[in-house]
């Protein structure tokens, strides 16, 4: 895949932090955490630090973790007063039982197996601590089209460059297996009618479907033209669900 298209795939979750509904989604995760001022909290896969900044403003003692040094550098610039580490989610530089809260979004589609990460979350949380995990489930992404079968195949193109595109639907089971208590599942759906918000990802998904020999280039061009036409007539519609799973240690 061309480097530009690879960047479109990799930036999809990060771009979702900038869309109009992103702040509402982050706020929903904070409500599920239910932490009081002064509590300690870790945000794993913190990216550029949007959530770290907001949690810090709520009076929490936040530590941001990301495996990407560039992301951590950007997060430090956004929240200079917060603590950050470059580390992997299954090997956190934190003591046992040192955190009151654990949050991880935009992570599990990148992992082959979520269990080691959840086990590490269990280790660093104090008894009674709260965890909120989740993210996109690419299999539930909905895009309207006159040819829904073709659209479903193109969505597979979007999934093809993600390690575990449907991982979030398994998180309730993984948390239960890790002995978390009071597991709760919430689905937050963002409805998008502005074609420009998703146009780069639609193009990348169609190109990937061609690269994977799922469709022809003619199919891809026809579909992209249809989506642009729908947009011109105000008919573009997509729905992107994020699964949030909360529990108590």
Measured between its terminal Cα atoms, the distance across the chain in Å is 42
Q: What is the pLDDT of residue 160?
A: 84
Contact yes or no for 93/73 (Cβ under 8 A): no
For residues 59-84, one letter each, b for 16 or more C-beta atoms within 10 angstroms of the residue's C-beta and e for the rest, the string is ebbbbbbbbeeebbebbbebbeebeb
CA dihedral 214, 220, 223, 227 (to 10 degrees): 120
Who's near 7: CB < 8 A, 6+ residues apart? none
Paired with 41 in beta bridges are: 62, 101
Who's near 238: CB < 8 A, 6+ residues apart? 141, 142, 143, 144, 191, 192, 193, 198
Contact yes or no for 64/83 (Cβ under 8 A): yes
Which domains, ranges and CATH numbers included, belong to the chain? 3-248 (3.40.50.150)
User: Alpha-carbon distance 202 to 188, whole Å?
Assistant: 21
User: Alpha-carbon distance 217 to 39, whole Å?
Assistant: 53
User: Per the structure block, which two tokens stand in for 228?
Assistant: 């642009």
Per-residue pLDDT of the chain (249 residues; tens, 9 = 90+): 433 444 444 444 455 666 667 888 999 999 999 999 999 999 999 999 999 999 999 999 999 999 999 999 999 999 999 999 999 999 999 999 999 999 999 899 999 999 999 999 999 999 999 999 999 999 999 999 999 999 999 999 888 878 999 999 999 999 999 999 999 999 999 999 999 999 999 999 999 999 999 999 999 999 999 999 999 999 999 999 999 999 999
């Amino acid at each position: 895949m061309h480097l530009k298209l690879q960047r479109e795939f990799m930036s999809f979750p990060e771009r979702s932090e900038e869309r109009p509904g992103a702040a509402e989604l982050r706020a929903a995760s904070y409500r599920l955490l239910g932490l009081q001022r002064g509590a300690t909290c870790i945000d794993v896969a913190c990216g550029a630090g949007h959530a770290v900044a907001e949690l810090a403003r709520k009076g929490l003692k936040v530590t941001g973790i990301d495996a990407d040094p560039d992301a951590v550098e950007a997060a430090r610039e956004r929240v200079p007063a917060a603590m950050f580490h470059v580390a992997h989610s299954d090997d956190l530089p934190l003591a046992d039982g040192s955190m009151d809260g654990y949050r991880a979004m935009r992570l599990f589609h990148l992992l082959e197996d979520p269990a080691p990460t959840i086990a590490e979350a269990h280790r660093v949380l104090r008894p009674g601590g709260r965890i909120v995990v989740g993210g996109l489930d690419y299999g539930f992404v909905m895009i309207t089209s006159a040819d829904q079968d073709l659209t479903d195949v193109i969505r597979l193109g979007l999934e093809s460059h993600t390690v575990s595109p449907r991982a979030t639907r398994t998180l309730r089971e993984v948390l239960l297996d890790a002995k978390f208590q009071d597991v709760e599942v919430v689905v937050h759906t963002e409805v998008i009618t502005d074609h420009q918000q998703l146009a780069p990802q639609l193009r990348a998904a169609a190109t990937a479907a061609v690269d994977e020999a799922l469709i022809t280039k003619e199919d891809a061009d026809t579909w992209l033209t249809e989506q642009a036409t729908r947009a011109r007539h105000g008919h573009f519609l997509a729905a992107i669900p994020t699964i949030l799973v909360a529990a108590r240690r």
